[in-house]
Amino acid sequence: MRTDFTQALDYAGYLHLDTLLAAQHPLSDPQHPDELLFVIQHQTTELWLKLMVHELVGARGFLDTDDLARARKSLSRVKHILRTVTEQWSVLATLTPSEYAEFRDVLGPASGFQSVQYRAVEFLLGNKNPGMLKVFEANPPAHAFLSDALHGHTVYDAFLRLVARRGLPVPAAVLERDVSKPWVEQPELIPVFREIYEDTTGRWDLYETSEDLVDLEDAFQLWRFRHLRTVQRTIGYKHGTGGSSGVSFLKRALDLTFFPELIAVRTEIGVP
């Protein structure tokens, strides 16, 4: 076991632990013992979001080059990340309403609503909202980063283009759509997915990737739901710190869907 790292890279140096572990700065005075939990919960989520953005961009690139196997590996990793951050809410849920109320005011208007990486993940999955860029006008690098995500094609766009290259009749209007707009359900895609689902022998990899996307959406919705329940048990029906309506705002997010045709096609499968 090596013990001398005087002139060699060690674990702390590789991970920049001096910087990472010095990045927690609770603002309550005197410092509330539970504020560190709140800070670390959100910082670690941001790290996982960074990896999610990285993997989704990678999956999109692999789909663009017809490398379906590697795209599926990236999507699988995102599913596991979502399971991790979903379970992570259980740690924050140990923060009681009275404990949080003792330091909540130090957050001011800061809110997870302002997470540029969360918005990038949603944009990469198709839930695009140009109005969100206004939130980041005071932060030019964040604004540029999110603008690129807004104007780039989504993971779903990349998959549908691959499906079209495989010879299936994806409508031209879908392939040529304005990718800066939010995705809306395209009924013309349902027969395309029905063909995939009813020919699993001939189109197994497309079928499996379709199910990967459904898994991803399910995992994302479970994360949203656990977020809602954690907020509800901690602040009830108070407004969020960033000015949102809190629980009711989070409930509306549960109605959003990234890949509606992959759900709608299930009604058609097996029907004469």
Query: 38 among the known binding-site residues?
Result: yes
Query: 7 among the known binding-site residues?
Result: no
Residue 122 CB contacts under 8 Å (≥ 6 apart), including other chains: 128, 129
What span, in angstroms and rounded, lies between the C-alpha atoms of 154 and 268? 26
What sign does the dihedral 188-192-195-196 (CA atoms) show? negative
Question: How many residues belong to the chain?
Answer: 272
Query: 233 among the known binding-site residues?
Result: no
The closest alpha carbon to 39, from 22, 26, 20, 21, belongs to: 26
Query: 40 among the known binding-site residues?
Result: yes
Query: 54 among the known binding-site residues?
Result: no
| Phi, psi angle pair for 25, to nearest 5° | -130, 75
Helix (H) or strand (E) holding 224: helix 204-235
Query: 227 among the known binding-site residues?
Result: yes
**At 134, which amino acid appears?**
K
Query: 25 among the known binding-site residues?
Result: no
**26-35 exposure pattern, b = at least 16 Cβ within 10 A, e = fewer:** bebeeebebb
CB-neighbour burial class of residue 173 (10 A; exposed 0-12, middle 13-18, buried 19+) = exposed
The closest alpha carbon to 122, from 202, 13, 49, belongs to: 49
- 272, two tokens: 């004469």
Query: 39 among the known binding-site residues?
Result: yes
Query: 263 among the known binding-site residues?
Result: no
**Are the C-beta atoms of residues 101 and 78 closer than 8 Å to each other?**
no
Query: Binding-site residues for heme, please?
Result: 227
Annotated binding site: 38-42, 100, 104, 227, 241
What residues are designated binding site for substrate?
Answer: 38-42, 100, 104, 241
